[in-house]
């Protein structure tokens, strides 16, 4: 009787473990599909932003090419994110421990790529970041070289398209004893634009990067969740093997 009771308890525990394993597999499958969709969307959105002609024109004019660095990291990261779910589904379906461990490692790598790309992008596109002094310096150089036709064209293009004046405002022209250009004034009121182009350009960059980083960080959270679930599944499968051996 004792042996039969022990066998029944073992069988019950094995059945319960099997349910947990199936739940883990189903959860990983669903999360993999969600991550795949989000990865494709992120890839398309970052590539679209990178190829935006307005952004390219301003980045080239202000020589702030470091803005692209975070985008390149996220493009590479999104490719890894798109590939990872296929490995997840195959590893879960086959229930191979080595593949599940590799899957956990790949998702962990994706997690760090998403965080790194988001951090670099935010560092080069937000108010208070290192990009603001770089933009301000370039704009001041353009104002000082406004006698040059190319510098004047670049400066006027930025001021007219954004609706800003100087690096920090109209006082930049006054301090350098330069006349305010027509592009520095509102065409309706004739008043000079209050905000400087350094802040206006940064606000534009921050607006464009906000959605990108939100998506990337959301993907990073799901990547970490799949990493943890994959490791839990490995432990559960190892425990199941012990149950089968004991039976």
Give the range among 4-13, 50-59, 70-79, 236-245 with minimum mean pLDDT.
4-13
* 76-102 pLDDT tens trace: 999 999 999 999 889 888 888 889 899
User: Looking at residue 2, what is its pLDDT?
Assistant: 46
Asked if the structure places residue 36 within a domain, the reply is yes
Q: Provide the residue range defining the domain that includes 108.
A: 18-246
User: Looking at residue 17, what is its pLDDT?
Assistant: 66
Asked if the structure places residue 4 within a domain, the reply is no
Q: Please state, in angstroms and rounded to a whole number, the distance separating the CA atoms of residues 129 and 33.
A: 35
User: Looking at residue 242, what is its pLDDT?
Assistant: 67
Q: Please state, in angstroms and rounded to a whole number, the distance separating the CA atoms of residues 184 and 69.
A: 31
In the chain, pLDDT over 90 holds for what percent of residues?
Answer: 33
Asked if the structure places residue 191 within a domain, the reply is yes
Asked if the structure places residue 7 within a domain, the reply is no
Asked if the structure places residue 126 within a domain, the reply is yes
Token pair listed for 5: 């009771």
Asked if the structure places residue 10 within a domain, the reply is no
Q: Indicate whether 4 pLDDT > 60.
A: no
User: Looking at residue 45, what is its pLDDT?
Assistant: 93
pLDDT band at 192 (very low <50, low <70, confident <90, very high): confident
* Average pLDDT of the residues in 45-63: 86
Asked if the structure places residue 199 within a domain, the reply is yes
User: Looking at residue 210, what is its pLDDT?
Assistant: 87
* Average pLDDT of the residues in 240-245: 62
Task: Enter the pTM of the model.
Answer: 0.84
* 114-169 pLDDT tens trace: 999 999 999 888 888 788 888 888 888 888 887 777 878 888 888 877 778 878 88
- Number of domains forming the structure of the chain: 1
pLDDT band at 7 (very low <50, low <70, confident <90, very high): low
Asked if the structure places residue 188 within a domain, the reply is yes
Q: Indicate whether 198 pLDDT > 90.
A: no
């Amino acid at each position: 009787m004792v042996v039969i009771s022990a066998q029944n308890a073992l069988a019950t525990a094995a059945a319960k473990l099997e349910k947990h394993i199936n739940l883990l597999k189903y959860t990983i499958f669903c999360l993999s599909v969600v991550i795949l969709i989000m990865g494709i969307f992120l890839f398309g959105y970052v590539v679209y932003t990178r190829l935006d002609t307005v952004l390219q024109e301003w980045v080239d004019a202000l020589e702030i090419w470091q803005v692209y660095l975070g985008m390149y990291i996220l493009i590479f990261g999104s490719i890894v994110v798109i590939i990872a779910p296929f490995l997840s589904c195959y590893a879960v379906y086959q229930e191979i421990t080595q593949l599940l461990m590799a899957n956990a490692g790949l998702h962990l790598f994706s997690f760090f790529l998403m965080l790194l790309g988001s951090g670099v992008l935010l560092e080069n596109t937000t108010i208070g970041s290192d990009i603001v002094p770089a933009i301000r310096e370039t704009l001041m150089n353009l104002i000082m070289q406004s006698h040059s036709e190319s510098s004047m064209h670049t400066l006027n293009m930025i001021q007219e398209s954004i609706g800003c004046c100087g690096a920090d405002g109209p006082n930049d022209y006054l301090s350098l004893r330069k006349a305010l250009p027509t592009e520095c004034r509102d065409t309706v009121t004739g008043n000079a634009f209050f905000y400087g182009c350094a802040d206006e350009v940064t606000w534009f960059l921050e607006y464009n990067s906000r959605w990108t980083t939100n998506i990337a960080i959301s993907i990073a959270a799901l990547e970490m969740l799949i990493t943890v679930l994959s490791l839990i599944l490995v432990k559960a499968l190892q425990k199941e093997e012990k149950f089968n051996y004991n039976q």
